[in-house]
Structure 1
Amino acid sequence: MSDGTAAPDPDDVGAEPGRNPDAVGAEPGRNPDQGDPERDGSPSRGRVHGRLERIQGAQERVHSTWESLPWFLRWAVVWSACLLVVAAGIYLLATVAARLAPLTIALAATLFLAAMLDPLAVRLRRWRLPPAVAALLSLFLLLAVIGGAAYLVWTLTADQFSSLSKQLDEGLDRTRDFVTNSLPVSPEQLDRWTKQATEGLRRSTPDPIAGARTAAEVAGGVLLIFVLLFFLLKDGRPMWGWVLGRVGDRSRPAFVQAGRNGWHTLSAYTRGTVAIAAIDAIGIGLGLVLLGVPLALPLAVITFLGGFIPIIGATVAGSVAVLVALAAKGPTTALLTLVVVIAVQQLEGNLLEPLIMKRQVRLHPVVILVAVTAGTLFGGIPGAFVAVPVTAVVYRVVDTVSALRQGREPT
């Protein structure tokens, strides 16, 4: 007699309601075919644990070896690695700049001239002139100064070139006699050396095609400099504001201060260098005029341009003046010219330069000499021109950022 309930299936005996009979003893929600990952001893999990243990052991051995080294050796290793990274970065930047030499020279000259003309452009804008008009007037003033100086030099010295050839021939003969009589050098040896030097100069003279290409590059570079200079004087501050807008809020104050100090350093260096070079040119030029050395004005211009290359430029310009005096007037005038050059340079280096530069550009002469030498090796004369201002600006920026990070006021 049935009570209305179905007889249980023999296969379901012992099974809980709603559970798969094949999963008796299994935890809910787990596939019984997977097994326990903590007990199955899978090969992949063991390999991972072994690899991690080996890495940890290697790290401990390296740390133990590093701690066992003397402190000065660890210090040398760390600083050597840092210097290698910095040197590699500088070398890469210098290589790229050398590859793009015309553009690099144009940008450097533009920044240099902009730092020199920016006070004039600012003053013109304060007189309610539009930025474009102020930039154009600054450019016209620069062109007028350069063109007027070139015209003055040519006008005052054109008549000296005709008589200079004869004076140089006579001076060279006197110099030849002086060398052969005072030094253990025979006239035949001196003639042979002169011939070798002349042949070397002839071989190093570029062909007409290369000369035309160089002239075209120079003309294009000059045009690019004036175009970039106009836009930098006109829109320099909006450009700087655009750059600051891409800097994070936390880094912006340091970025603003470093940029301002770097620009002030470049401006001070530019104006100070122009003033010192002009004083050197005037002093040496007056000395050459009083001694009757021909081409005194062109030599003064060479001295002015050489003043933009610290230490080396003044030495080279003074050597040219002494050689011209020796060839044209003889050893006595050359010796007096050397005295004038040394006196002017000593006055400039010991009195005028510290007074004019003040505390704007604080670089040791050793640093300046190394920077000029490195710039000459990488970029020749243009590299020597830009080496010191670049070094001064970089030093000023790094010093400012370091001071702000340490919580002190930049000097």
Structure 2
Amino acid sequence: MVDDGRTTEEPRERGPRAAWANLPWLVRAAVLWSACLVVVVAGLYLLGRIALLLAPLAIAVAATLFLAAMLDPVQRLLRRLRLPASLAALLTVVLLLGVLVGVGALVWNLTAEQFDKLSSELTRGVEETRNFVTSTLPVSDQQLDRLVDQARQAAGGGGGLDPVSGARTAAEVFGSALLALVLLFFLLKDGRTMWRWMLDRMTGPNRALTAEAGRNGWHTLGAYSRGTLMIAAIDAIGIGLALVVLRVPLAFPLALITFFGAFIPIIGATVAGTVAVLVALAANGPVTALLILAAVIAVQQIEGNLLEPLIMKRQVNLHPAVILVVVTAGTLIAGIAGAFVAVPITAVVWRVVDTVQRHRAGPMSEASA
């Protein structure tokens, strides 16, 4: 072949693949991460929409898992006494019903006549706070009313009461509670059998990983449910004692509100503490209200810095900012029920993801060592 002195250029690759390869690595990484984020957000949105359509079923399943994790030690204790699985599960459910009915009857007898007074005292406290705000800050009554109306509409409380929707909601609540009890019985009776059946259908290395992730997630849910119950009781006792010592009326109903508020982290404690301070302000004046506020803050600090790490044993290790975000998101999606289940779902998912990451990083770390 004769060389005529001309150099021939190699053909350059053209097309989408070449254009993608010619992009800077930072742009490619941003595109890939953005696409993954869009897929994850779309999947979460789809799951949320499905959960909203099946809200009674979703609430029943969430309550069943929460109660099963809380009552699992009781069921295991009965099984160690050589009771059949069905009888142990039935006795556990009956024990739960007995505690709920007994506590409900006691609370009703002690507080049924006081809740009307609690409402009036709370209204007085709100009015005194309103007068203080309008007299101290450059805010008029009309502006404050506008802000309150906007907050009420944002919380979904702007509409009136519809008897039909109220009856439908009551029926859904009753049906969800009944379904949760039935599911709780079967989960306590056959939960481990169903889990082993699912693991037996899996092969390869994913079986061990799934077993470990499921075990860690279940332990996390159990630690959260039992720990939250203990912390709620301690909060109610601590704040209730402060109310009794300072001679604030309606101490028992306020302690009860504190107990139930503790099941919704951060937001529930804040609302319960606000109610206690407003009642103290209306009944005993600003000095007692400030002392109750100091007691609420002290109890919350002791809970967050001492009791929660000790009781939870750091199995539910979520940053307060993450808890606040997920509780707010759960409230916006499904109201109080969403706020209740947001943190345990997040804790379990995080524990499972952390288990998977550590499992995959294990062989790499051993190879590098």
Q: TM-score, normalised by structure 1?
A: 0.77
2:33 aligned partner, one-letter code:
W
Partner of residue 60 from structure 2, selected from 83, 88, 106: 106
Residues 125 and 87 (structure 1), Cα distance of their counterparts in 2 relative to 1, 3 Å cut = same
Residues 379 and 356 (structure 1), Cα distance of their counterparts in 2 relative to 1, 3 Å cut = same
Task: Answer with 331-340 or 380-389: which moved more.
Answer: 331-340
Match of 1:406, SS state, is helix
State the shift of 1:141 in Å.
1.7
CA contact (8 A) 1:273 1:307 kept: yes
Match of 2:265, SS state, is coil
User: How far does the alpha carbon of each residue in 1:161-190 deviate from its partner, in whole angstroms, 9 at most, with x for none?
Assistant: 576577667767765665565455678988
2:172 alignment partner in structure 1: 217
Within 1, Cα distance between the matches of 2:290 and 2:136? 16
Match of 2:98, SS state, is helix
2:31 alignment partner in structure 1: 77
1:289 aligned partner, one-letter code:
V
CA contact (8 A) 2:232 2:262 kept: yes
Partner of residue 236 from structure 2, selected from 281, 286, 304: 281
Within 1, Cα distance between the matches of 2:46 and 2:291? 47
1:147 alignment partner in structure 2: 101
State the shift of 1:292 in Å.
2.2
Match of 1:204, SS state, is coil
CA contact (8 A) 2:224 2:312 kept: yes
1:356 alignment partner in structure 2: 311
Within 2, Cα distance between the matches of 1:290 and 1:391? 38
Partner of residue 110 from structure 2, selected from 147, 150, 156: 156
CA contact (8 A) 2:115 2:253 kept: no
1:271 equivalent to 2:222? Answer no
Match of 1:403, SS state, is helix
1:213 aligned partner, one-letter code:
R
2:62 aligned partner, one-letter code:
A
1:255 alignment partner in structure 2: 210
Match of 2:362, SS state, is coil
State the shift of 1:202 in Å.
9.2
User: How far does the alpha carbon of each residue in 1:332-385 deviate from its partner, in whole angstroms, 9 at most, with x for none?
Assistant: 222222111111111111111112122311222222222212212211111111
State the shift of 1:101 in Å.
0.6
Residues 408 and 348 (structure 1), Cα distance of their counterparts in 2 relative to 1, 3 Å cut = farther
2:329 alignment partner in structure 1: 374
Partner of residue 192 from structure 2, selected from 229, 232, 237: 237
Match of 1:373, SS state, is helix
Match of 1:282, SS state, is helix
Within 2, Cα distance between the matches of 1:198 and 1:93? 27
Q: TM-score, normalised by structure 2?
A: 0.85
Residues 290 and 382 (structure 1), Cα distance of their counterparts in 2 relative to 1, 3 Å cut = same
What value does the CA root-mean-square deviation take over the aligned residues? Answer: 3.1
Trace 1:55-94 onto structure 2 (pairs within 5 A).
60-94=14-48
Within 1, Cα distance between the matches of 2:225 and 2:84? 25
Trace 1:9-28 onto structure 2 (pairs within 5 A).
none
Partner of residue 207 from structure 1, selected from 132, 139, 162: 162
Residue identity (%): 65
State the shift of 1:393 in Å.
0.9
Within 2, Cα distance between the matches of 1:231 and 1:58? 66
1:14 alignment partner in structure 2: none
State the shift of 1:63 in Å.
2.7
CA contact (8 A) 1:175 1:331 kept: no
CA contact (8 A) 1:171 1:330 kept: no
1:318 alignment partner in structure 2: 273
Q: Which has the higher contact order (CA 8 A, sep 6+)?
A: 2
- Structure with higher Rg: it is 1
1:245 aligned partner, one-letter code:
D
Within 2, Cα distance between the matches of 1:347 and 1:329? 26
State the shift of 1:245 in Å.
2.6
Within 2, Cα distance between the matches of 1:169 and 1:83? 46
Within 1, Cα distance between the matches of 2:205 and 2:91? 39
1:286 aligned partner, one-letter code:
L
1:308 aligned partner, one-letter code:
F
Aligned length: 354
1:246 aligned partner, one-letter code:
R
